A and B are shown apart, each in its own frame.
Chain A
Amino acid sequence: MTVLSMCEWLENTQVALLVRESAYGFPIVVAIHILGLIVSVGLVIWFDLRLLGISMRRCRLSDVWRRLMPWALSGFVVMFASGGLLFAAFATSAYGNMAFRIKSAAIILAGVNALVYHFVTERGIAEWDIGVRPPRSAQVAGLLSIVLWTTVILSGRMMSYTMF
């Protein structure tokens, strides 16, 4: 089964048809997707700015993470669930779309960046948790996160203009 045939199968599922063909299915799911994105990325950026030593400097880095993440993760769940529905509805068009490919690559890289930070960089956090400027590797993680999530927003919006 090729990726394209999987996309075709996905497009013909009941839920994909509902999103694509009902009167308000598509706009409602897109609106939820955008609002989820605003909440998740709009909050994650504040942890990234703390990693860069730009904002909330008097606060422990681990504290900023612990308190912001439940809210940001809720936004991510909403964004990915609604994004999955939108992909299902227009899977074949999205598969061949350059903006979608850039967006997918940026999401994967953002995920890898987060995993590397939490499983490698963060190991030594006890030494710099309270410091104003975390080490260079943590700052790079923060900067990469901002660049990659901005790419996700830009390419995601470009999809609307290049897919339909």
Chain B
Amino acid sequence: MVVVALQFQPMLEWVQTTRLASTISNSLTLTAILSSIHLVGLTLVVGSVLFASLRLVGFIFYDRSVHEVTDAVGGMIMLGLAISVTSGLLLVAPRAVASVQNGFFQFKMASLVAAVVFHLGVYRRVLRGRELTRSRQRVTGAIGFGLWFAVAVAGCAFILLE
């Protein structure tokens, strides 16, 4: 992760010098608004994933089709992700170099990449698969929520302990 961060150092330094980054950096109000929007996006993603995971694990709506819940939350997960990623990129822009060097930020990004890859590569494939056994549902639900929950915890650690 550190090697990757060093490779991108010139680009991160350039990002910090852009007018957009300066505008955000010079405005506490703008930073606060972006941070608030970021939390709304995160709530939509993790809340929706939790809803789907509770059904997949079998804690709620166990007498209804898994797809009834997972189809309902799919769009909201993507909407929340778009909101949180866009606001997150804008928040990081003024302090890109320091953020990328921060251990909590690195853990958050690693969890985010793992959660998105799992969601697009495994979660969706498992749900579309012919053999959607109960054990597969449970494992998929638990891992999916675990990864997104890790993103939220790492995000808290990053803003509170950096």
User: Residues on A close to B: CB < 8 A?
Assistant: 26-27, 30-31, 34-35, 37-39, 41-43, 45-46, 55-56, 58-59, 67-68, 71, 150, 153-158, 160-162
Contact = CB atoms under 8 A, between A and B. Distances in A.
B42 A38 contact: yes
A46 B39 CA distance: 17
Contact of A68 (B31, B40, B48, B60): B60
A157 B32 contact: yes
Interface stretch (B3-11, B12-20, B126-134, B151-159): B151-159
Given A27-B160, A67-B60, A38 B68 contact: no
Nearest to B75: A55
B28 interface: yes
- Interface majority SS (helix, strand, loop, mixed), chain A: helix
A43 B47 CA distance: 5
B51 A46 contact: yes
Contact of B50 (A34, A39, A150, A157): A39
B115 interface: no
Q: Is the interface of B mostly helix, strand, loop or mixed?
A: helix
Interface in B117-156: 149, 152-153, 156
B68 A45 contact: no
Nearest to A40: B47
Contact of A35 (B59, B61, B153): B153
Contact of A43 (B50, B149, B153, B157): B50
Interface string B41-75: 01110111011001000011100100011001100
A75 B29 CA distance: 29
B83 to A, nearest CB: 11
29 contacts: A26-B160, A27-B160, A30-B156, A30-B160, A31-B156, A34-B39, A35-B149, A41-B47, A42-B48, A45-B44, A46-B47, A46-B72, A46-B73, A56-B72, A58-B68, A59-B64, A71-B59, A153-B39, A154-B36, A154-B40, A157-B32, A157-B35, A157-B36, A157-B39, A160-B32, A161-B28, A161-B29, A161-B35, A162-B32
Contacts of A157: 32, 35-36, 39
B152 A34 contact: yes
B160 A38 contact: no
A37 B46 CA distance: 11
A150 B41 CA distance: 10
Given A35-B153, A58-B68, A153-B43, 6 more contacts: A38-B43, A39-B46, A42-B43, A42-B47, A56-B68, A161-B35
B47 A39 contact: yes
Most chain B Cβ neighbours within 10 Å, of A34, A35, A155: A34
B161 interface: yes
Contact of B36 (A34, A55, A58, A153): A153
A85 to B, nearest CB: 15
A155 B46 CA distance: 20
